[in-house]
A and B are shown apart, each in its own frame.
Chain A
């Protein structure tokens, strides 16, 4: 079992709709969780991180964490074509010496 699992997609969402990206993890020792966006041919960039159960909102983005069910999700409201990218989920484990564990990413396509 992979430590971090993401559906590779592509996930196709109409412009203006809500895009929902999911990530599950296997290690209950995981401490905090990160969503990175990676445009094709570019390097990853941080969107947001979350470490407490519940929701965390930042503009059009909302991260949701459920430690009991071991999943973290990213919601993108009012999706724009510029949101089309691969979204990488990463986690930090309590004893990982600051090493991030990465999922393979979900490719998101926003259709105009």
Chain B
């Protein structure tokens, strides 16, 4: 089991460029999430998905897009990169056995710098 795999680990973008952050999980989890973490801050939810074909906005969705065509993959698209999108991005997945335990498993993160 590889768990949650994110690529790339590091990326520098110029203002106005676009890119896709890849995320795949092999745990057959229905729930997948994209977070961003700014220095000294907690995790802010960008988008999430409760299953293939279903996505929804989180707390900070502006400037991002997602798709979920398969259970395994949940790519995050940045269009027209801006310096405010400089952050560490984490993909996560979870399988909820019940409503009290939803352990999230995280990828290793992508450190993105927009210059």
- Residues of A at the B interface (CB closer than 8 Å) are 4, 8, 31-32, 34, 42-46, 49, 51, 88, 90, 92, 94, 97-100, 102-105
The answer, yes or no, to whether B103 is at the interface (CB within 8 Å) is yes
Q: What is the minimal beta-carbon distance from A47 to any residue of chain B, in angstroms? A: 10
What are the residues of chain B within 8 A of A98 when measuring CB–CB? 31, 48, 50, 94, 96, 102
Residue of B at shortest CB range from A100?
B104
Count B interface residues, CB 8 Å.
Answer: 25
Bound-complex Cα distance A49 to B90 (A): 21
* A99 contacts B43, C-beta separation under 8 Å: no
Residue of B at shortest CB range from A94?
B99
Bound-complex Cα distance A42 to B108 (A): 6
What are the residues of chain B within 8 A of A100 when measuring CB–CB? 43, 45, 102, 104
What are the residues of chain B within 8 A of A49 when measuring CB–CB? 100-101, 103
Bound-complex Cα distance A91 to B40 (A): 19
Q: Which of B38-60 contact A (CB under 8 A)?
A: 40-45, 48, 50, 56, 58
Most central of B43, B44, B45, B56 by chain A CB within 10 Å: B43
Q: What is the minimal beta-carbon distance from B46 to any residue of chain A, in angstroms? A: 12
Which of B42, B108, B109 lies in contact with A88, CB distance below 8 A? Answer: B42
Bound-complex Cα distance A104 to B102 (A): 19
Q: What is the minimal beta-carbon distance from A9 to any residue of chain B, in angstroms? A: 10
* A31 contacts B99, C-beta separation under 8 Å: yes
What are the residues of chain A within 8 A of B96 when measuring CB–CB? 98
